[in-house]
Amino acid sequence: MSLVAAIQMASGPNVKANLEEAEKLINTAVQQDAKLVVLPENFAIMGMSEVDKVTIAEKYGEGPIQQFLSQQASKHGIWIVGGTIPVDSGVTGKVYSACLLYNDSGEVVARYDKIHLFDVVLEANEESYNESETIESGDDVVVADTPFGKIGLAVCYDLRFPELFRAMADVGMEICVLPSAFTSLTGRAHWESLIRARAIENLCYVIAPDQGGYHMNGRETHGDSMIVDPWGVVMNRLPQGTGAVVSDIDLDKLYRTRKNFPALQHKRLDCKISYT
């Protein structure tokens, strides 16, 4: 078994202050013996406007945010999933929302660029989001081999697209990490249901750190960071506030569940489709 942690924050527009807060929460997780720490989406910046992240974008492999993640991983001897950070896309005015996985030596071993972009209108509270204005979509599904198991990387809005998770399961995913910044409205309606569904249908663990609280730009995020087992049981959660959600990942339990309930082996895609 391995102890893992999901970090919950309420990030603001000041990168330095956000990194200081992240460091404190990583320390909290390490004090509880966590060996894999997952930060939320946009942990380093929740800007006053969407273009703020473009302004502080880093070249891949360079910059203070990536240096911070590398140093934290090597300092504590832990693996870190760096939530998302804005990485230069080569397209003027746009960045990749990159989720980076660091090993315990501080080296990047996997990178996932967010595929599904949050372009929606929420009529209930008159909020609208258009991530594609400042974010370039990624194209690659990513699963990485680690000491904790095979980890699939996904981000926030990806949660609503089960075919992405099944694609990761098809190449062996055992744990999915889901750095997020779910809105308060959509979080109340769908957050727990979707996380548990992805865990159940793929018979995998889901580590889901979320932004949680009120942000300086006026946005409210849902929080309720959680870790869910392959049977859909919420093992630990943090409904509100900042902190670290810590729980065990037991691959033997996962293997037993998949053996006794082999739903992944029962899928059929060879059936004919009839329209009437």
The residues annotated with a catalytic role in the active site are 41, 114, 156
> HEC profile for the chain?
CEEEEEEEECCCCCHHHHHHHHHHHHHHHHHCCCCEEECCCCCCCCCCCCCHHHHCCECCCCCHHHHHHHHHHHHHCCEEECCCEEEECCCCCCEEEEEEEECCCCCEEEEEECCCCCEEEECCCCEEEEHHHCECCCCCCCEEEECCEEEEECCHHHHHCHHHHHHHHHCCCCEEECCECCEHHHHHHHHHHHHHHHHHHHCCEEEECEEEEECCCCCEEECCEEEECCCCCEEEEECCCCEEEEEEECHHHHHHHHHHCCHHHHCCCCCCCCCC
Task: Name the residue among 273, 213, 184, 242 with its Cα closest to residue 23.
Answer: 242
